[in-house]
Chain A
Amino acid sequence: MKSGIKYTGIPSEEELRASPGAPSRERLEQGPVAFIECVQDIPCNPCEEACPFGAITVGEPITNLPELHGDKCTGCGVCIAQCPGLAIFKVHLHYTETTSLVEFPYEYYPLPRKGDRVPCGDRQGKYVADGRVVSVKNAKAHDGTAVVGVEVPKACYLEVRTICRKEWSRHG
């Protein structure tokens, strides 16, 4: 099967590496940072306006890919809920000695609660590892798009992008 967003609905490693929205490895080492997984030229730019630090630029035409400026990004996570494509994540590689923090948009009920242990999934919803929910942000300005932060084993910071909803509800 061919890989790539057009064939699988999942951005391939190459697509992510080539995209201006993914932070460099060096930047990831330095601290929390946005991870933009938007790899097609669609007419869209709310992320550009959402970032209070000017760390995302789309420019003209608005079909340009969003570009992340790692030096300006503070890792505040404000942009996550403003992206209609739910394509922005936040990654804090060295959250602790052994864990990373991944924040992702989440629009399903019930929402997890801080402290919950949840099964975390990758871009195809496949179980990767258990994680601990450290934050659930759902401010009015999010307009229904909650942002969930999970602490996961360091090895899977590039993989974890969601909660495995079905497994989770089965756990109760």
Chain B
Amino acid sequence: MKMTQVAVIGAGPAGLAAAIEVARAGGLVTVIDENARPGGQLFKQIHKFFGSREHRAGVRGFHIGEQLLAETERLGVEVLLDSPVYALFPDRTVGYVHGGREIFLKAEKIVIAAGAAENPLAFPGSTLPGVMGAGAAQTMINVHRVLPGKKVLMIGSGNVGLIVAYQLMQAGADVAALIEAATQIGGYGVHAAKIRRAGVPIHLSHTVKRALGKDHVESVEIVALDSHWQPVAGSEKILGVDTVCVAVGLTPLTELAWLMGCEFAFVPGLGGHVPKHDLNMETTVPGVFIAGDISGVEEASTAMEEGRLAGTACAEALGLLDGQKALELKTVIRERMNALRTGPFGEGRRRAKECLIGLSLEGQA
């Protein structure tokens, strides 16, 4: 059996950041990811990030990914790719598959940074080719350089919907409209303003009624919603589009944390059921940490900070960092993280996070 000090599951921003902190402290760390490339969703983020200089604001997401990879390489972090983790065992053994074989890795600490999956939307025609997650469309245009379609309807006005709509236009597609069931735009106004300037209408209080087409989406029917979220009869409109992108939120991928027996809390503001964790990102199962979207869906910048926190806490728990030094590092990370969770957009998440951590600490007392 393979051995390591820290096993990190997921080579996205959170996982890589965690691994870097462990390696920096001199720990032996192994990152395992099911994809062929490390970086998680960072390599499809071609837009410039927000935040401040410490958060690498103004730098495009994929450049941040490149920097993280260079750092992992420089520190000699082992990154195992094409290796889906299919099981975790109570003695902190990780079961994964690589090259058609099952391999077990025994670790002293585990960081689960498995990310999140796009929420689906079911409507008549939602299984027609041409209906896809916005994240999938983003991967197509920015990683694989293929246009999913010529004319797109975007569903959902969170930052994902707004950003992907913009990037689809940059890639050469036409975005017919963006619809949102809620009564206001969910994401940043500056992102919305970009697509408005490009002439894309945003219809609030609207939903999709059905997608039509024989073997592929040929058009889509949208309908207005009243204040009780009920369709307004007679308000239906048909849009001629060949692609429908769904950006209605993400759900944390928590299977592995359930398997480990972590306690969960239900926090709608974070995407549903999330593992309870303390200020060090440690779950209710000693030695098992989480970081990134699995602990509540947020931005890549916050995911990286959570990863750094979990990595630092692992290093401390392994005796690689003394308490004083670890506290200093963690304080700086927490301050940066809180800066990202201020303002009308971050406030809700900060409160949801505090509630989650509060619940977790209560359980321990």
8 Å CB interface, A119-165 against B? 121, 123-126, 143-145, 161-162, 164-165
The answer to whether B57 touches A125, judged by C-beta atoms less than 8 angstroms apart, is no
Binds B, one of A25-33, A68-76, A80-88: A80-88
Partner of A84, one of B48, B183, B196, B202: B48
8 Å CB interface, A55-108 against B? 61-63, 82-87, 107-108
For the complex, give the distance between the alpha carbons of A150 and B293 in Å: 43
8 Å CB interface, B5-53 against A? 47-53
The answer to whether A61 touches B196, judged by C-beta atoms less than 8 angstroms apart, is no
For the complex, give the distance between the alpha carbons of A9 and B158 in Å: 12
The answer to whether B344 touches A40, judged by C-beta atoms less than 8 angstroms apart, is yes
- CB contacts (< 8 Å) of A44 on chain B: these are 50-52, 57
Known A9-B202, A43-B346, A63-B346; judge A87-B197 contact (CB<8 A).
no
Say whether A118 faces chain B, with CB atoms less than 8 Å apart.
Answer: no
- CB contacts (< 8 Å) of A9 on chain B: these are 185, 189, 192-193, 195-196, 202
8 Å CB interface, B56-89 against A? 57-60, 63
Known A44-B51, A46-B58, A162-B198; judge A6-B343 contact (CB<8 A).
no
For the complex, give the distance between the alpha carbons of A18 and B344 in Å: 18
For the complex, give the distance between the alpha carbons of A43 and B189 in Å: 13
DSSP class of A's interface residues: helix, strand, loop or mixed?
Answer: loop
- Bits for B321-356, please: 1 = Cβ < 8 Å to A, else 0: 000000000000000000111111110000000000
The answer to whether B198 touches A62, judged by C-beta atoms less than 8 angstroms apart, is no
For the complex, give the distance between the alpha carbons of A37 and B197 in Å: 13
The answer to whether B342 touches A5, judged by C-beta atoms less than 8 angstroms apart, is no
For the complex, give the distance between the alpha carbons of A43 and B55 in Å: 10
Number of interface residues of A (CB under 8 A): 44
Most chain A CB within 10 A, of B49, B169, B193, is at: B193
The answer to whether A84 touches B50, judged by C-beta atoms less than 8 angstroms apart, is yes
The answer to whether A11 touches B193, judged by C-beta atoms less than 8 angstroms apart, is yes
The answer to whether A7 touches B204, judged by C-beta atoms less than 8 angstroms apart, is yes
B339 CB to nearest A CB, Å: 6
8 Å CB interface, B282-340 against A? 339-340
B200 CB to nearest A CB, Å: 8
22 interchain pairs, CB-CB under 8 A: A6-B185, A6-B189, A7-B183, A8-B202, A9-B193, A9-B195, A10-B193, A10-B196, A44-B50, A44-B57, A45-B51, A46-B48, A46-B53, A63-B343, A83-B58, A84-B48, A85-B188, A87-B190, A108-B169, A121-B197, A125-B199, A165-B198
- What 18 additional pairs, Cβ within 8 angstroms, besides A9-B193, A42-B50, A162-B197? A6-B185, A9-B185, A9-B195, A10-B193, A40-B189, A40-B190, A42-B345, A43-B342, A61-B342, A62-B52, A82-B58, A84-B50, A86-B193, A87-B190, A87-B193, A107-B170, A109-B170, A143-B48
